[in-house]
Amino acid sequence: MANSPKILALTIMDREYRVNCPEGAEEELRKSARYLDEKMQEIRQASSRAGKVLGADRIAVIAALNITHQMLESEAGNTQINADLERLNKRIDGLLDEDSQLEL
């Protein structure tokens, strides 16, 4: 029989959410919830300072958009890093080939 998912209680913007969590992923889910809570609290505070009152659903959407934007920027950066590494590996391989041909 497969392990049933664990139920975790997570607090985000002073509200408790009970969510299913695969065995062994509890800490990652808690960390994700803390990160989301921090981002949503930042948005709430910024909107309050600007004299606006935003609902939790609007704050959640703005936080999701910000986090998604950060993720996509990170992925683009990783793609560039991988391309640079591939280019350097080819250059190193070419230099090693040249060196081995000189030894013959």
Two structure tokens written together for 73: 């920027």
pLDDT of 37-59, one tens digit each?
A: 999 999 999 999 999 989 999 99
**What are the structural domains of the chain?**
6-103 (3.30.160.880)
CB 21 within 8 A of CB 6: yes
CB 54 within 8 A of CB 44: yes
Beta partners for residue 21, in sequence order: 6
**Cα separation of 26 and 10, whole Å?**
10
**Integer CA distances (angstroms), 77 to 4, 64, 65, 81, 85, in order:** 37, 20, 18, 6, 12
- Its pTM stands at 0.71
pLDDT of 68-100, one tens digit each?
A: 999 999 998 888 898 899 999 999 988 888 877
